[in-house]
Structure formats: C-alpha cells, structure tokens
Amino acid sequence: MKLEGLDVFYGDFQALYGVSMEIPKGKIVSIIGANGSGKSTLLNTIMGVNRPKAGTIDFEGKDITRLRTSDIVALGVTISPEGSSVFEDMSIEENLLMGAYLPDPRKRRQENLARVYELFPVLKEKEQQLATFLSGGQRQMLAIARAIMSEPKLLICDEISLGLAPVVVKDIYRKIREINEMGVTILLVEQEVKRSLQSSDFSYVMVKGRVVMQGLSAALPETEVKDAYLGINKYA
C-alpha cells in the first residue's frame, strides 16, 4: 500500500499534513504517535471513513482513495479496530462469522474458524457467549480474530495494546507475528515506542499530523523516537 500527500480536514481544522507512507507487501510496518498525532485519522482515511482533501491511497496498484469502506475491505484491507467495536449483542461465534462476510472467505469459514480458535483458544471456550461479557483483552483478541476471518492481505491493528496487561500484550504480539508469517502484511498503530520498534520491520513516527521520522525499525534509535513522539525540540 502506498499513501501519498494526504491532507485531511475536520471542518477548518487540518488533521493530516501531506502524509506519505509505503507499506510493503509481507512486512510489518508500525506507525508510532501520541494521542492527537493523527494516527486514528490516518486509519479512518485509509478505510474510507474520512475523505482526504488531497493525496492518494493506492493498494496493489489500484487507487482506493474514493472507495466505499465495504469495497476497500473487499479488496483485502481489513482493520482490527479498537476493542469497543465488537458486536456486543452477538455471540463470539457470530462475531467471527461476520468477519467472514465477504463471498470468498465465507466459503472457507469453517476452516478459518478452526484456525482462529487454534490461535486464540480462549475464544473457542466462550464460543456461544455474547461478546458483551468479554474482558478488554478478550475483546481485543476477538477483534483481531474477526479481522483474520476475512482472509486479509493487509491487516491494520489499531492500538491493540491499549489498556491491556503486559502479559496479554506480549501474547497478542506473538500472534501478530504468526499471522504475518502466514503471508499477511501488517500495519501496527501504537503509542508504545519500544514494542513497536521491536515488533516491526519499518516504522513511521507521527507528530501533529505529520510524519517526522521514518526508517528501518532496527535502525531507529529509541531515545530519538521518544523525543520525537513527545514533541521535544526539533520535531515540535
């Protein structure tokens, strides 16, 4: 996926300034930024919830900038949104089946269901329970599992570590790695600098709607990323 020169406004307020990024196939890319850095706006723009005033979004050679959300998803771009967006009054199983709504994954929903239950055994145990009774960590797992059910080519994970116990986060990141090894491109969006750098191939740092730093995750110095993230001196 390639983003080029995205400008996004909320009324008069400009939330993104010429954001350009590249998310190569098969890699894990992370976007690091504090609250209000424009991460969520960027994700919503990729998913067609917000419309950019300028710039283009290209996925596998196709311009998806003006497509409807459901059509973007149909091309293979899936988001695991923040945990609150599971379907509360549906069971775990029904939530997962909704993930396989599109025609192709729907044909393979039973295999995929078995696969995500293998990945997240706790979901299998609670298969028939309503999602509203799940804990925060379990919701996060459900959201990721539901996203995998759609057999995405690019999986976007929005703040999957937010509000979770460190053990759970570690576990979820291991799963993300496994999913990536199955050939799925991953876009991680996080506030946590260290974990993001450790678990991705390439990173972008965003401050106030701009990309201020980018590079191979292994090559980016953590302290500088933190300074940038906090908006210290030259990056402000």
Partner 1 sequence: MDLFVSAVIQGVLLGGLFAIIGVGLSLVFGIMGLTNIAHGDIMILASFFIMVFSVQMGINLFVALAITIVVMVVIGAAMQKFLINRVITKGAEPALLVTFGISIIIQNILTLIFNADSRIIKGPFSDVNVVSTNWVSISAEYLMNCLVAVGVIIALSLVMKKTYLGRSIRAASSNVTAAEFMGVNTLKTYVYAMCIAVVTSCVAGLLVGQTFVFYPYSGTQYLIIAFGVVVIGGMGSIVGTLLGGLILGVSQLLGALFFGNGYMILIGYIVMLVLLTFRPRGLLSNMARK
User: Nearest approach, Cβ of 48 to partner 1 (angstroms)?
Assistant: 8
- Whose Cβ is closer to partner 1: residue 27's or residue 106's? 106
Shortest distance in whole angstroms from residue 83 CB to partner 1: 11
Dihedral sign, CA of 155, 161, 167, 170?
positive
Alpha carbon separation from 214 to 6, 21, 41 (Å, rounded): 16, 9, 19
**89 contacts partner 1 (rule: CB under 8 A):** yes
Q: How far is the CB of 209 from partner 1 (least distance, A)?
A: 22
* Residue 101, phi then psi, degrees to nearest 5: -70, -40
Cα distance between residue 19 and residue 56, in whole Å: 10
Query: Which strands, in side-by-side order, build the sheet including 62-63?
Result: 13-22, 2-10, 54-59, 62-63
Question: Which among 90, 173, 166, 175 is positioned nearest to 134, based on CA atoms?
Answer: 90
Closest to partner 1 by CB, 21 or 147 = 147
Residue selected from 69, 110, 135, 198 as contacting partner 1 according to rule CB under 8 A = 69
Q: Is there binding between residue 98 and partner 1 (CB under 8 A)?
A: yes
Which of 33, 38, 52, 81 binds partner 1 (CB under 8 A)? It is 81
| Gap between the Cα atoms of 66 and 78, Å rounded | 16
CB of 67 to partner 1, least distance (A): 11
Radius of gyration of the chain (CA): 17
Binding pattern to partner 1, positions 143-162, x when CB under 8 A?
---x---x------------
Selected binder of partner 1 within 8, 64, 67, 79 (CB under 8 A): 79
For residue 81, how far is the Cα from the chain centroid? 7
Q: Examine residue 86 and tell whether it contacts partner 1 (CB under 8 A).
A: yes
Is residue 73 close enough to count as binding partner 1 by CB under 8 A? yes
Least distance from C-beta 45 to partner 1, angstroms? 13
Does residue 101 belong to the site contacting partner 1 (CB under 8 A)? Answer: yes
Residues 6+ apart with CB under 8 A from 209: 8, 14, 15, 16, 17, 19, 37, 38, 41
- The total number of residues written for the chain in this structure: 236
Q: Which stretch binds partner 1 (CB under 8 A): 21-29, 91-99, 201-209, 222-230?
A: 91-99
Chain residues that interact with partner 1, rule: CB under 8 A: 47, 49, 68-71, 73-74, 78-79, 81, 85-90, 94, 97-99, 101-102, 106, 146, 150
